Amino acid sequence: MRVIGGEFRSRRLQSIPGLDTRPTPDRLRETLFDILGTRVEGAVFLDAYAGTGAVGIEALSRGASRAIFIERSKNATKVLRENLASLGIEDRADLVMAPVAGSLERWWGDIAFLDPPYEREKEYSSALAAFGKNAPALVIVQHSVRFTPAESYGVLRQTRMVKQGDNALTFYSPG
């Protein structure tokens, strides 16, 4: 796994051994950041279900002012901490080791990226509902193409869906 573009382009990231974490494929990350374009510059980027931190690190590499990583796994948090240290960007990141749904009311970003485990479909609705009325300007959810997320969650309304292979990205904005 590597950083696709920006300041840390081509730098390798450690991954988590085993099958507990499903990293966002390079190609899908590239598609995501092509869509976001300059919108990520200067933004606070929230990476929920962060795993190795590849998506949030990509945001930092492309000009996000800060990244907030939320991950509950001790092993993933250790690898994420090592990835941040290897790039020397610990001071630009907040690492929260906690369940995501309970943390989203306390942590906020301009852009939020959610990538719950595909087999736990209820995580999608509980995480998106946790934003309540204080939703970010943009929420992106990565999911399996076999899962169809709702058109809306609280104040969030679906604005776009992009499918790539077995993965999909669904975009939500307050509406």
Distance CA 56, CA 71 (A): 12
Residue listed under structure tokens 């998506």: 55
Residue listed under structure tokens 């090592």: 82
pLDDT tens-digit map of 52-102? 999 999 999 999 999 999 999 999 999 999 999 999 999 999 999 999 988
Distance CA 71, CA 96 (A): 6
**Superfamily for 6-13+25-174?**
Vaccinia Virus protein VP39 (3.40.50.150)
Domain-wise residue ranges, the chain: 6-13+25-174
What local confidence, expressed as pLDDT, does residue 150 receive? Answer: 93
Distance CA 103, CA 97 (A): 9
pTM (global) more than 0.85: yes
Q: What is the DSSP string of 39-89?
A: GGTT-EEEEET-TT-HHHHHHHHTT-SEEEEEE--HHHHHHHHHHHHHHT-
Please state whether beta strands 152-153 and 156-164 pair in parallel, antiparallel, or not at all (unpaired).
antiparallel
Task: List, in order, residues 6 or more apart from 36 with CB less than 8 Å away.
Answer: 62, 111
pLDDT tens-digit map of 104-161? 888 989 999 999 876 777 888 889 988 877 899 999 999 999 999 999 998 999 999 9
In this model, does residue 20 exceed pLDDT 60? Answer: no
